[in-house]
Amino acid sequence: MDTRHMRYFVALAETLHFGHAAARMNMSQPPFSRQISAIEKTLGVRLFERNSRNVALTPAGQHFLADCRAVLDQFDAACRDVQLVACGMKGELKLGFMMHAAHSVIPALVRLYSEARPDVRLILEERIPTDIEEMLAEGKLDAAVTFGGGPAPHLRTLLLARDRLCLIVPQGHRLAGVETIGPQSLAGERLIAAPATVAPTLRTAIGLYCASGGVTPHYAFEPRLQHTIIRLVQEGLGVALIPQSLCDDLAEGVVSRRLDDAPEFDVVLCASRAAKNPAVPQLFEVAGRAGVD
């Protein structure tokens, strides 16, 4: 018993005429008749009441017809879908992103890609940059939006946006009113920043910026999440250097200030070059078409 047999059965059930059904199957009547008999024999069930003048479905045949149609539809869909998956038109794509990308490039990227590939289920995973790197390497993510800049030979990357650091201080802080803020301005300040194990790119940028003014940074707190950093600044526990894109709608009591020669960094889309998910190249294509903004 096979799908071909089911197709023969459905053809006969729909035409109720051996000759016509055989023609529909592009074959002659005798082998077609034999196949129908063979089906009935292997199933052990009479599917048609027939003589040389009439062909009719038995109740069992009626039931089987509905089942066969469902099976054949599902079978054909499976064969079609696997091709769509293979060319990235269907399937799943696990996209990681660091939290601050949610405020900048992720919304537009997700919208664009979902419109271009509506049958690919986008699974979004918000993680800290170091975890993203690890998950990409392990294949637990197909692609990710994170900081660029580091040497990444095993990664394919695409620049999505450039961002810069920006200072946030509590309302009423001595720096809240100062015109020009440079690295020297940070001398003596209690800094709040994510640890190097979480966001090495930011941390390095902050360190280099301080060093460029001859300042040795004093880290008062080192929370993992940028939201937490902002919250601590709000409480007056220190100042912080955070991505510009997070400064747009700050909470009450927090003030953002531009920095002179603010460190800049790339936000990139990246994926392991070893990644085999065929949806990945298309994500790069869509992201590339959209252009850097």
Partner DNA sequence: TAAAAATACTCCATAGGTATTTTAT
Partner DNA sequence: ATAAAATACCTATGGAGTATTTTTA
Site for a copy of itself, rule CB under 8 A: 1-4, 6, 43-47, 49, 58-61, 63-64, 67-68, 70-71, 74-75, 77-79, 81-83, 85-86, 90-92, 276-279
- Under the binding rule (CB under 7 A), the answer on residue 18 touching DNA is yes
State the binding partner of 82 from a copy of itself, DNA, none, CB within 5 to 8 A by kind.
Answer: a copy of itself
What's the min distance (Å) between Cβ of 91 and a copy of itself?
6
Residue-by-residue DSSP string for 6-19: HHHHHHHHHH--HH
* Rounded Cα distance, 24 and 18, in Å: 10
Span near DNA by CB under 7 A; candidates 15-23, 78-86, 97-105, 245-253? 15-23
* One residue of 4, 41, 154, 218 binding DNA per CB under 7 A: 4
Spatial distance between the Cα atoms of 268 and 177, rounded to a whole number of angstroms: 34
Task: Check binding of 276 to DNA (CB under 7 A).
Answer: no
- Using CB under 7 A as the binding rule, whether residue 31 contacts DNA is answered as yes
- CA-based end-to-end distance of the chain: 58
Judged by CB, which is closer to DNA: 30, or 172? 30
Q: Which is nearer to DNA, 82 or 178 (CB)?
A: 82
The three-state secondary structure class of 138 is helix
3-state SS class at 176: coil
DSSP E strands, 105-248: 120-126, 143-147, 155-170, 190-192, 218-221, 239-243
What is the closest distance, in whole angstroms, from the C-beta atom of residue 51 to DNA in the complex?
A: 4
Q: Tell which positions 45-84 bind DNA, by CB under 7 A.
A: 50-55
Residue 63 binding: pick among a copy of itself, DNA, none (C-beta 5-8 Å cut-off by kind):
a copy of itself
Stretch that binds DNA, among 16-24, 120-128, 189-197, 250-258 (CB under 7 A): 16-24
Cα distance between residue 241 and residue 257, in whole Å: 10
Helices 59-86 and 3-15: crossing angle in degrees, nearest 10, is 130
Binding site for DNA (CB under 7 A): 4, 17-19, 26-31, 33-38, 50-55
